[in-house]
Amino acid sequence: MAGAVSSGTGKIQVKFLVDIEKKKVVFAESGKEFVDVLISFLTLPLGTIVRLLGKESSLGCFDELYKSVESLDESHFQTKACKNMLLSPLSDAGTLCEDLVVRIDNTKPRRIRVCRQPKCVKSTLYYSSVPDVPCGQCGEHLALGWKWSKEDRKAKDDGVFVRGGMSYAITNELQVMPTSTDSFLFLLRDMGIEDATMLEDRTLQLGSEEIKNLLKQILTSDQPLTALIFNPCHESTRKDESIVTMNAYVSPETDSNPDPNLIKVKLFVANANQSVVHAEVGEEFCNLLFSFLTLPLGHVVKLLGVRSSISCIDNLYRSLKFNLDDCMNSDEIRDMVVSPRLPPFFSCTNPLFPK
Ligand SMILES: [Zn+2]
């Protein structure tokens, strides 16, 4: 199904079954390559999604948060490297995703930097995957580029996340399931389509631009496959169905014995309509807020109880658990996408964060 020439820059063939009268994709049929790409979206840190979509991701307020980090002077961060970590967060699945037929994340997961000083290389060999980290021995920036070597995947017939030799169906709402000719007919009947001759096949070759567009459509539309085919302009057609509400404890300003485990935020509220005008916060709150940029999308979905308000992403996440459990390459890979973690050295003491 895939016409890959080199890893990450190929094209993926996907067949869309389209209801021409209603201008709607009923579902798509693909091999492992397209399902791998969809699953890889869950491993992307929120900051990476914002960056890849040119700070027009429509991912809540994350575009603005990212721009705030970008415009803050380096002196406001503990080190210059901290700012780099927020603007170009790494994914723990980055090395694995190098084998995707279409890879839109352009970070280089195997690249590291070491000290230029031969004495440091010989003795301690401090290294970092983040630019502008100072050497732990001499204090100079680690600037000499090295690269971890790439391990070959054992089963080449399998995909990155899911098994090969199978066909998969993807509904317009992004539910993914393994399928066969019989189950295709069953699926159509399930959708109330008795006469499949009313549908038209459209086969597309999806490259990096189309996949990036699909990611954008997933974040802005409840029917991303239809949007990809019929509405490639980026109008939001998503309903915010299940906004998560926050129960905040409001204490009087005179509280002399505050709980040390709580983060204190001082809100300035407009009397007229009780809306928050702005907040005064300490470094703990800023640390927490900025760190959200490093969280993988799948972790956020898990954290919000699969009610993220992006229905397609919730459907994709549920598919991993309920439809694709037997199709994953290994238990380790299943865990990597169901509970995506932060890569080494990105860990933080906040309990919200994946270890
Ligand atoms: Zn050094």
Mind listing the pLDDT tens digit for each residue in 283-311?
A: 888 988 999 999 999 999 999 999 988 89
Report how far ligand 1's centroid is from the alpha carbon of 135 (Å).
5
3-state helix, strand, coil in the chain (%, to 5): 35, 20, 45
Please give the structure tokens belonging to residue 51. Answer: 């960056």
Distance, CA of 129 to CA of 154 (rounded, Å): 26
Average pLDDT value for residue range 13-22: 92
202-231 confidence digits (pLDDT tens): 999 999 999 999 999 999 999 999 999 987
Average pLDDT value for residue range 131-146: 88
Report how far ligand 1's centroid is from the alpha carbon of 110 (Å).
21
Name the average pLDDT for the chain.
86
H or E element at residue 29: strand 24-30
Helix (H, G, I), strand (E, B) or coil at 96: helix
Q: Is residue 1 predicted with pLDDT exceeding 50?
A: no
Residue 3 is predicted with a pLDDT of: 42
Q: Is residue 101 predicted with pLDDT exceeding 50?
A: yes
Strands 12-19 and 199-206: antiparallel
Beta-carbon contacts of residue 42 (< 8 Å; ≥ 6 apart)? 296, 297, 298, 301, 313, 316, 317, 320, 337, 340
In the block, residue with structure tokens 């993926």: 12
Are residues 81 and 126 in contact, defined by beta-carbon separation less than 8 angstroms?
Answer: no
Report how far ligand 1's centroid is from the alpha carbon of 355 (Å).
29
In the block, residue with structure tokens 């189950």: 183
Q: What's the pLDDT band for 248 if we cut at 50, 70, 90?
A: low
CA 225 to chain centroid, in Å, comes to: 18
Q: Is residue 5 predicted with pLDDT exceeding 70?
A: no
Q: Is residue 53 predicted with pLDDT exceeding 60?
A: yes
Which residues sit with Cβ closer than 5 angstroms to ligand 1, an ion?
115, 117, 120, 135, 137-138
Report how far ligand 1's centroid is from the alpha carbon of 183 (Å).
61
Report how far ligand 1's centroid is from the alpha carbon of 61 (Å).
39
> Percent of the chain, pLDDT > 90?
51
Q: Is residue 232 predicted with pLDDT exceeding 80?
A: no
Report how far ligand 1's centroid is from the alpha carbon of 146 (Å).
15
Phi, psi of 349 (to 5 degrees): -80, -5
Residue 226 is predicted with a pLDDT of: 94
75-100 confidence digits (pLDDT tens): 999 889 999 999 999 999 999 999 99
CA 241 to chain centroid, in Å, comes to: 20
Residue 40 is predicted with a pLDDT of: 97
Q: What's the pLDDT band for 4 if we cut at 50, 70, 90?
A: very low
Beta-carbon contacts of residue 75 (< 8 Å; ≥ 6 apart)? none
Distance, CA of 114 to CA of 84 (rounded, Å): 17
Q: What is the ipTM of this complex?
A: 0.97
Residue 2 is predicted with a pLDDT of: 46
Distance, CA of 148 to CA of 142 (rounded, Å): 16
Distance, CA of 304 to CA of 8 (rounded, Å): 31
